């Protein structure tokens, strides 16, 4: 069953704002690159005091903290408005998703609000990421048997 006609689709397409795909891709590339460059700089800085493994862990913690702080202050959303997909560098995007839900749900209390809803957006990422990891692990294990 068609909800709209072909004429309506043509009408809507003709009046829809055109997406500047090339500009959005460049901005996402640049902002994502800046985030990764900052992370690499932090790793180099931390590596002067810590082992490489500990420095990597501290970089992750630092990026999560900065993202959560900027999300709480309302700054991260303004950055993401201009950066687009560039802020979805996995660790910053995940930290933003979790902290945004916590902020939105805090008025409902810590148990039924934050506790119940904090992983609403990030939950599927965790679930399917874990499931994919398990499947890839089994495939890797089977392929090494031969």
Chain segment 15-34, per-residue pLDDT in tens: 888 888 899 999 999 999 99
Q: CB–CB of 77/97 below 8 Å?
A: no
Question: First vs last Cα of the chain: how many Å apart?
Answer: 51
pTM here is 0.69
Identify the residue whose tokens are 């005091």. 49
Closest CA to 65 of 31, 34, 42, 45: 42
Rounded CA-CA distance 28/123 in Å is: 24
Residues 6+ apart with CB under 8 A from 22: none
The whole-number average pLDDT for the span 108-121 is: 74
Q: Would you state the pLDDT for residue 73? A: 93
User: 42 falls in which pLDDT band (50, 70, 90)?
Assistant: very high
Question: How do the domains of the chain map onto residue ranges?
Answer: 20-119
The whole-number average pLDDT for the span 126-144 is: 88
Phi, psi of 125, rounded to the nearest 5 degrees: -65, -45
């Amino acid at each position: 069953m068609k909800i709209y006609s072909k004429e309506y689709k043509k009408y809507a397409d003709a009046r829809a704002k055109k997406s500047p795909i090339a500009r959005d891709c460049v901005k996402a590339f640049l902002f994502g690159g800046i985030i990764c460059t900052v992370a690499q700089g932090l790793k180099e800085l931390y590596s002067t005091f810590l082992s490489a493994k500990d420095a990597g862990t501290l970089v992750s913690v630092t990026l999560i903290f900065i993202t959560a702080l900027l999300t709480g202050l309302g700054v991260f959303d303004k950055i993401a408005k201009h950066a687009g997909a560039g802020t979805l560098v996995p660790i910053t995007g995940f930290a933003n998703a979790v902290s945004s839900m916590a902020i939105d749900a805090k008025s409902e209390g810590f148990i039924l609000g934050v506790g119940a809803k904090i992983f609403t957006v990030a939950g599927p990422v965790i679930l399917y990421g874990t499931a994919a990891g398990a499947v890839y692990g089994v495939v890797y294990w089977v392929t090494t048997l031969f």
